[in-house]
Structure 1
Amino acid sequence: MTTGQLIFIFLAVASSRLCMVFSLRPLSGDHHCNREKLPSQKALRTDQFTVLINGYSESRIPILHTVTGIYSSSPSVAAVVVLWGNPKTPIKTLVQLAHNLSISSPGDAPISVIRQPSSSLNTRFLPRPWISTRAVLICDDDIEIGPKSNEFAFNIWRNNPEQLVGLFARSHEIDLTSRTWIYTVHPDRYSILLTKFMLMKTEYLYRYSCEGGESMANARLIVDAMRNCEDILMNFVAANKTGVGPVLFGAKRVRDWGDARNEGGRELTAAEEVAVGLSSRKKDHRKRRGDCIREFHRVLGKMALRYSYGKMVDSVGEQGLCEKGGKLVLCDQQFFK
């Protein structure tokens, strides 16, 4: 058994916070697309969702304690799983992380840490036989959202179960000068939701990873080559199935610890980029994501992305908060991922 095949789980027993169960078992990386090893859609529960947090940098472990605790406290969350994508992180560190997250969690939903079978961003969307819910939340390790907003998002998804539901929206567009697709942001429309927070049907994990034949295999290779754009490709997958765009919602409070607009934010060096996360954020980031849209269109044979308009809100207010002068204030809306 290799270190890349280990799964670490600490489960808190509801009757006692002092009684812990620790298990270590293989992660069957070779059978993700075997339908016989996956639960049927009818068997998946609809009253809760599973949280899949992308983890990579040990420097963000303190934030993980806060983020996982909030999700674990939500009554609609069945389980919280940190998918660790850094192959260089020692086993001892992950075991300790799983232990600490479990014993410090204020909620009832179990928290686990899994080392991914590879560092590919595509592994965020692998089907998992242990997912017991019809909905999954794909999110980053530096996004902190309040429990009430989690419940609000889940209620929106239950009314729109075929669509992606999220907090951070972007758009595709044709550049008339170069006659090519570009990645941008519009004040009145959007067609792409980011995996900073993306709630969706569990079935889409299988569609992304296992269906689509050679064209989807080539699209996933583009994600690996760019070390980016897995979120854009998932938007292609969902829009191709539904024929409509995603659903954007507003939250009362969202803390984006990775936002460069935070006071003291600066351009990361190449080494720091690798240390903090998998997704490439070079200066040509926007152009590269436009290149992804163009290449996905080419290999998939159609432009599946569809525009949506408006935002679902439970009250008036912006969702972006940044630290300035020691206080949390609304971020400048001009800068985007």
Structure 2
Amino acid sequence: MVAKYIAGLRALAARRVVTLVAAAFVLASVIVILVRLGPPAKLNDLKLPDVKLPDIDMSKLPNIPGFSGSHEPEHYEKCDRNITEPLKQWKAAQQKYDKLMDDKFTIAMQTYKRPKELDETLRVILSEKIASLHEIVIIWNNLEEKPPGNFKSETGVPVRYRVSERNSLNMKLLPDPDFKTQAVLLSDDDVYYKPQDLEFAFQTWRKFGQHRLTGALPRCATPDAEGNWGYGFCSKDSNQDVYSMIITNLCFSHMSFLDYYSSNNTVMQKVRDYVDDHFNCEDIALNYVTSYLTGTGPLLVKGRDKYVNYEPAQGISKKPGHLEARSKCLNDLTKMFGCMPLVNETAHIERGVIVL
């Protein structure tokens, strides 16, 4: 009888141990997901179907190694997080735009001599009501022609054309004083999310991405044996499952990052001059800025449908030697910043599910 009683106690204890281990595993999985995606702005703003996230104070969670971090060669000095003046300047920019709307977004769409692509992109975006879209601003870099007149769509979205001072890729990254929103979707005239996916991407930015570039097109920076950086497309076919950039063909940015990029900071002045001289790499440079200031990587967001990219015959990416030029930008920008600030990420968010 005593033996049976003891055996019963052991069985009960074993079941409780299994239960505790299982509960700990579930809690650890939730913490990994949340830590991996970074601090949310307002946990109740975004509705992600089929995903339930507990209300956890992200600032009190431990730093879990192995889930975020850059992979610089040893001879590249890591970025010093005690960057007092840049952080002070960025903090001031955040305060400057704090009164702008945080529940709406503006599209800043750059165009140059591609009226067909521009018209089609505008047609699709304006075909449905996008609840949080406040305004579309067309960055008109075709200085040889006058832009069409401003108008308001049937869904009530104002569309205005802003003529650039010069044909420069830096023009898209200007913190327009007439913007009314903290969030800006930086885009080109030949790429877009479908309307409902665009709303989802914005709500994802609000919840997870305000201190990140958040968008559709990931890119990679990979060091070779000599420590030189190579630019890539993060193709799964090449067994590469990390990304460290979201390019500005289609991504959300907070106004404060655009403000810092366009500031009189000595490094940023050199960066903008470099972009103008090479007519390339403003998108890489903005990724450097965000990771340099925050120490975090970008966030890839996928809609229910794949984003649309016309890939027209003419464009910077179609020029011979494009990848080599982009790799050169990585190495030159690393020298300008004095470190490699990009941070490798593996998580992404899809409409309806979080994927690690």
Aligned counterparts of 1:144 and 1:108: Cα–Cα separation in 2: 19
1:121-140 superposed matches below 5 A? 121-140=169-188
Structure 1: gaps of 5 or more residues: 1-32, 261-267, 317-337
Q: Indicate how the Cα distance of structure 1 residues 148 and 237 shifts in structure 2: closer, same or farther if over 3 A, else same.
A: same
Query: Where in structure 1 do 4 or more consecutive aligned residues deviate above 4 Å?
Result: none
1:1-337 superposed matches below 5 A? 40-57=96-113, 58-70=115-127, 73-89=129-145, 91=146, 94=147, 97-98=148-149, 102=151, 105-160=153-208, 161-176=210-225, 178-186=226-234, 187=236, 188-211=241-264, 213-259=265-311, 268=313, 273=314, 277=315, 279=316, 281-315=318-352
Higher strand share: 1
Displacement of 1:133 after TM fit? 0.7
Structure scoring higher RCO (CA < 8 A, sep ≥ 6) equals 2
Aligned counterparts of 2:95 and 2:339: Cα–Cα separation in 1: 31
Aligned counterparts of 1:209 and 1:311: Cα–Cα separation in 2: 29
Aligned counterparts of 1:108 and 1:244: Cα–Cα separation in 2: 36
Instruction: Classify the secondary structure of the residue corresponding to 1:43.
Output: coil
Displacement of 1:285 after TM fit? 0.4
Structure 2: gaps of 5 or more residues: 1-88
Larger Cα Rg: Structure 1 or Structure 2?
2
Displacement of 1:206 after TM fit? 0.6
Aligned counterparts of 2:116 and 2:95: Cα–Cα separation in 1: 35
What TM-score do the two structures reach when normalised by structure 1?
A: 0.70
Aligned counterparts of 1:138 and 1:200: Cα–Cα separation in 2: 7
Residue correspondences, number? 256
Q: Percent identity?
A: 28
Cα-Cα RMSD:
2.5
What TM-score do the two structures reach when normalised by structure 2?
A: 0.67
Displacement of 1:44 after TM fit? 0.5
Instruction: Classify the secondary structure of the residue corresponding to 1:54.
Output: strand
Displacement of 1:41 after TM fit? 1.9
Aligned counterparts of 1:82 and 1:64: Cα–Cα separation in 2: 11
Deviations 1:201-243 (A, max 9, x none): 11111110105x2222111122112211110000000001110
Displacement of 1:39 after TM fit? 9.3
